């Protein structure tokens, strides 16, 4: 349809308000395009009660939704039902009011008074009738080529020209009594010869007329099924072979007119153009995919020369997204507004020397403020605690006990500081009614490498998995891909895993009930009754099955926001295991599905009786022997062997979508999948890295050629020289050029997409020429200079490449070794971040996906 035609059709409806700014609709609900179009239609017709059939005519007349299916009323009802269900789960007001009129109790819909608020609906308009609505036709089924089930061939009625099977040589095995058998009469035509008469087996009554005889149906004998096709073709004969000929057809008036051949079917519609899906997974490492420090400043340039334990790591992050809920909408990802996962990597100093390394991961809920606060303030607090201890003294149990006590006090102090900040924000919001305060919180994971020890600190349901494997022997050189076999050195095992603080743990459930909390079923929304005396307090692993789907809420909740604040409603986000989180209104009853967290002021109103505690689990693990450079540990047993370790940190966005439901099986599945990935990277990593460099050089040559074609052969030498130094990312360009790279190279060092940048709190849109990865071997990697300001120079945004996060320059051999290790870790972590991948770990595709952040460290 042309642009002019579209403009003419929409001129009649210029007064349609599609944004509905005056209505009380939350931003998350406004992101649902179908809901907004339906609400705009009802509001346009004066917010009168309309049935589903009337709404179909109204929507079609305004051309707001493509209701072209066979069940348009079901589509309208589905939009209403899904929005109402989402509002109930979030404890919000119903956006629709349902009225029932007449003796048949016909259901009609309109926007609720709470949704309309103070807005004045327009004048009530007449609803269009069915005959006045123009329905856009659907593509005929004949034009749709589908490899579906073949249609059954329609049965053919008997006509005199139908061929008759002859059975002169048949062997009758069994006579059928149900179907009468007739023998062909000799005097069907007086001119029939005896030889011709003997060709028929049909028996008819001699008293019948010629016309009546030909109306008798001819039955085939089922006993002839064993005859082959050749015999059937030889026995077949027409009425012409019986001597009847065309004169008999004229006698009965049954001659068929010759018909022209049917016209050829129309050609099938051309296939839709293949849309290359944008990569939404962001990669971060020191050298292989360094972040742009102007946008991502959560990773410090660590000093791996003074402390080389846990010096190779990779971080991958994918912002949560969802798919449209209706069949008429395109299958596209709808990203969340904010990514609530935050991370941090920094060194620990003592006497101006690096003695440890800290990895922080926080999973926010209700907003990104709490997780941002903790990742910003935790490194400084940990530095203050560790300055009191010598790493060499951690082998003493008394020193570890004192350090554990100080770490718990540090977490409590950070939590109290954040709660005081939230109280100040609430007081400010009371004075200024235009402000809103998020009721947010976060889980927290700290993995502190101090000397030869790993200290795990866990609050909430994010998880740390320590994976171990034998120290690999010297492998044979591999120069070609896909030649890696099964190596027992890469049979990874789980040595330690943190415990998820879920409501079904009895010792946590007892604490919640004793401090004024209660449990509600997240499916049926009913209170779960428990006997506190029967809950075990001393058993950390005891579980209560009735609390599997439970959520926690204050028993006698009073809103801490006493002023009349018109906070917008919200829409919940659901995960694969029905873990529902939402942007909570402060005037609503809050609920959580995690038994320990940081922040969450509504659960900590009484400082002496906090419903949800922030007390962490602290675990000490020795990960190295006396030789720091070996990075191994000696395991006890009859055969002592050196082991190496990998640390897997992730938010619940990974574990909620796995096939396995229990934590132990999930951890084993991760270790099992991680082994072959590490093996491929270590054995054929150099080959894969060389292939990437080769593809990158080819892309660079194509880009230089494209610049020459635009600027001409007289382009300034400075711009040409600068273009030769530029490094580009290969993934997007190889897909656009139509080339087919090696499968194992897919998603290699993807460019920073808009979603990846927005996931870290930056609203600026990355340009296509601003990749997340660069070639560290290029001269531009060590020193990045501003591009020359010439008329033919490439735009500045395409030249700002992120620098490797190095504390000092290193030689080419060490640089290449670190690139190979980081590439292995990046691609391994991406396999788990891609939860819709087909590698057998995650469940089938779902509707909604939560934020997912993974930190993979080689110890």
* H, E, C per residue of 230-262: HHHHHHCECHHHHCCHHHHHHHHCCCCCCCCCC
| Residue 247 to residue 451: CA distance in whole angstroms | 109
453 or 234, greater pLDDT: 453
pLDDT (average), residues 376-395: 94
| Residue 429 to residue 564: CA distance in whole angstroms | 10
Among 140-149, 439-448, 555-564, 636-645, the least confident range:
140-149
Among 50-64, 390-404, 771-785, the least confident range:
771-785
pLDDT at residue number 216: 54
Q: Tens digit of pLDDT for each residue in 566-583?
A: 333 333 444 445 444 444
| Residue 56 to residue 74: CA distance in whole angstroms | 10
Q: Tens digit of pLDDT for each residue in 331-363?
A: 788 888 889 999 999 999 998 899 999 999 999
The alpha carbon of residue 740 and the mean position of all alpha carbons in its chain are separated, in whole angstroms, by: 25
Interacting residues of 38 by C-beta distance below 8 A, sequence separation 6+: 55, 59, 64, 65, 76, 79, 80
- Burial class from Cβ neighbours inside 10 Å (0-12, 13-18, 19+) for residue 357 reads buried
pLDDT at residue number 133: 58
pLDDT (average), residues 485-491: 74
Among 30-34, 732-736, 821-825, the least confident range:
732-736
The alpha carbon of residue 28 and the mean position of all alpha carbons in its chain are separated, in whole angstroms, by: 18
| Residue 493 to residue 298: CA distance in whole angstroms | 30
Q: Tens digit of pLDDT for each residue in 170-188?
A: 445 444 544 444 444 444 4
Asked if pLDDT for residue 710 goes beyond 50, the answer is yes
Extended beta strands in 411-549, E state: 441-450, 453-459, 463-470, 493-497, 517-521, 527-528
pLDDT at residue number 235: 47
pLDDT (average), residues 516-533: 88
pLDDT at residue number 461: 94
How does DSSP assign 384-422, residue by residue? HHHTTS-GGGTTSHHHHHHHHHHHHHHHHHHHHHHHHHH
| Residue 246 to residue 239: CA distance in whole angstroms | 9
- Burial class from Cβ neighbours inside 10 Å (0-12, 13-18, 19+) for residue 425 reads middle
pLDDT at residue number 496: 94
What does each C-alpha distance from 12 to 6, 16, 132 come to in angstroms?
A: 11, 9, 15
Among 374-378, 596-600, 798-802, 849-853, the least confident range:
798-802
Interacting residues of 698 by C-beta distance below 8 A, sequence separation 6+: none
pLDDT at residue number 142: 46
pTM of the model: 0.59
pLDDT at residue number 770: 33
pLDDT at residue number 309: 92
30 or 418, greater pLDDT: 418
Task: Band the pLDDT of 689: cuts 50, 70, 90.
Answer: confident
pLDDT at residue number 825: 95
Confirm if 40 and 65 have CB atoms less than 8 A apart. no
Q: Tens digit of pLDDT for each residue in 206-235?
A: 555 555 555 555 444 444 444 444 444 444
Of all residues in the chain, what percent carry a pLDDT higher than 70? 63
402 or 141, greater pLDDT: 402
| Residue 170 to residue 625: CA distance in whole angstroms | 91
Scored b (16 or more CB within 10 A) or e, 695-717 reads bbeebbeebeeebeeebeeebee
Asked if pLDDT for residue 706 goes beyond 80, the answer is yes
Q: Which two tokens stand for residue 587?
A: 């005037």
Q: 3-state SS string over 784-822?
A: CCCCCCCCCCCCHHHCCCCCCCCCCCCCHHHHHHHHHHH
Confirm if 528 and 550 have CB atoms less than 8 A apart. yes
Nearest to 341 by CA among 320, 359, 323: 320
pLDDT at residue number 524: 82
pLDDT (average), residues 486-493: 82
pLDDT (average), residues 654-662: 91
Q: Tens digit of pLDDT for each residue in 90-132?
A: 777 888 888 877 666 788 899 988 888 888 888 888 888 876 5
Query: Which residues, in sequence order, are bridge partners of residue 723?
Result: none
């Amino acid at each position: 349809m042309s642009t002019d035609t579209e403009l003419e059709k929409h001129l009649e409806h210029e007064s349609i308000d599609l944004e509905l700014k005056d209505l009380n609709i939350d931003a998350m609900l406004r992101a649902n395009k179908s809901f907004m179009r339906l609400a705009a239609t009802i509001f346009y017709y004066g917010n009168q009660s309309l049935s589903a059939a009337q709404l179909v005519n109204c929507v079609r007349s305004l051309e707001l939704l493509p209701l072209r299916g066979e069940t348009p009323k079901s589509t309208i009802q589905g939009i209403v039902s899904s929005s109402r269900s989402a509002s109930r789960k979030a404890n919000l007001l119903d956006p629709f009011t349902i009225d029932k009129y007449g003796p048949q109790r016909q259901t009609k819909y309109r926007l609720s008074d709470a949704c309309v608020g103070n807005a004045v609906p327009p004048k009530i308009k007449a609803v269009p009738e069915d005959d006045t609505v123009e329905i856009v036709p659907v593509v005929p089924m004949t034009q749709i080529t589908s490899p579906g089930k073949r249609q059954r061939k329609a049965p053919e009625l008997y006509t005199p020209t139908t061929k008759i099977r002859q059975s002169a040589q048949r062997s009758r095995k069994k006579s059928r009594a149900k179907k009468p058998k007739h023998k062909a009469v000799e005097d069907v035509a007086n001119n029939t010869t005896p030889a011709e008469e003997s060709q028929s087996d049909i028996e008819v009554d001699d008293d019948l007329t010629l016309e009546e005889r030909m109306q008798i149906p001819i039955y085939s004998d089922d006993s002839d099924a064993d005859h082959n096709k050749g015999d059937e073709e030889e026995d077949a004969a027409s009425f012409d072979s019986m001597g009847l000929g065309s004169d008999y057809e004229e006698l009965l008036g049954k001659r068929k007119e010759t018909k022209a051949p049917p016209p050829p079917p129309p050609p099938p519609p051309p296939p839709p153009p293949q849309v290359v899906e944008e990569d939404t997974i962001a990669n971060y490492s020191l050298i292989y995919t360094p972040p742009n420090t102007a946008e991502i400043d959560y990773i410090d340039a660590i000093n791996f020369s003074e402390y080389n334990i846990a010096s190779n790591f990779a971080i991958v992050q994918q912002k949560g997204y969802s798919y449209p809920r209706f069949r008429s909408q395109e299958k596209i990802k709808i990203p969340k507004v904010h990514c609530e996962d935050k991370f941090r990597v920094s060194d620990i100093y003592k006497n101006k020397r690096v003695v440890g390394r800290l990895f922080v991961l926080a999973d926010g809920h209700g907003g990104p403020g709490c997780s941002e606060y903790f990742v910003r303030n935790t490194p400084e607090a940990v530095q203050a605690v560790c300055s009191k201890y010598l790493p060499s003294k951690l082998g003493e149990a008394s020193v570890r006990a004192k350090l554990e006590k100080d770490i718990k006090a540090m977490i409590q102090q950070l939590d109290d500081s954040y709660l005081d900040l939230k109280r100040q924000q609430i007081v400010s919001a009371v004075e200024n009614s235009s402000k809103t305060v998020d009721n947010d919180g976060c889980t927290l994971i700290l993995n502190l490498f101090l000397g030869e020890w790993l200290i795990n600190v866990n609050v909430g349901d994010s998880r740390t998995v320590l994976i171990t494997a034998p120290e690999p022997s010297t492998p044979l050189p591999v120069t070609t891909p896909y030649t890696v076999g099964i190596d027992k050195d890469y049979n990874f095992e789980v040595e330690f895993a943190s415990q998820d603080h879920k409501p079904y743990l009895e010792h946590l459930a007892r604490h919640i009930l004793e401090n004024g909390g209660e449990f509600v079923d997240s499916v049926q929304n009913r209170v779960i009754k428990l006997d506190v005396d029967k809950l075990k307090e001393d058993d950390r692993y005891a579980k209560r099955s009735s609390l599997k789907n439970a959520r926690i809420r204050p028993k006698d909740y009073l809103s801490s926001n006493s002023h009349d604040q018109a906070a917008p409603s919200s829409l919940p986000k659901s995960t694969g295991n029905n873990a529902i989180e939402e942007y909570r209104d402060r005037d609503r009853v809050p609920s959580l599905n995690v038994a320990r967290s940081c922040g969450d002021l509504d659960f900590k109103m009484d400082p002496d009786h906090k419903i949800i505690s922030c007390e962490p689990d602290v675990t000490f693990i020795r990960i190295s022997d006396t030789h720091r450079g070996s990075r191994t540990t000696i395991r006890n047993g009859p055969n002592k062997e050196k082991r190496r370790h990998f640390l897997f940190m992730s938010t619940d966005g990974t574990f909620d979508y796995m096939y396995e439901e229990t934590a132990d099986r999930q951890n084993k599945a991760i270790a099992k999948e991680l082994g072959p990935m590490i093996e491929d990277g270590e054995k054929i990593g150099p080959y894969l890295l060389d292939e990437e460099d080769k593809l990158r050089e080819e892309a660079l040559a194509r880009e230089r050629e494209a610049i020459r074609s635009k600027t001409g052969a007289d382009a300034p030498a400075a711009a040409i020289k600068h273009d030769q130094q530029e490094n580009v990312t290969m993934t997007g360009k190889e897909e656009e050029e139509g080339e087919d790279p090696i499968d194992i190279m897919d998603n290699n060092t993807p460019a920073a997409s808009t979603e990846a940048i927005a996931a870290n709190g930056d609203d600026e849109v990355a340009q296509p020429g601003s990749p997340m990865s660069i070639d560290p071997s290029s001269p531009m990697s060590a020193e990045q200079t501003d591009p020359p300001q010439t008329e033919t120079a490439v735009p500045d945004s395409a030249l700002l490449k992120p620098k490797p996060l190095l504390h000092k320059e290193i030689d080419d051999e060490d640089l290449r070794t670190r690139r190979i290790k980081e590439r292995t870790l990046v691609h391994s972590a991406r396999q788990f971040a891609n939860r819709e991948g087909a590698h057998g770990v995650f469940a089938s595709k779902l509707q909604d996906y939560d934020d997912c952040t993974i930190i993979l460290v080689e110890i």
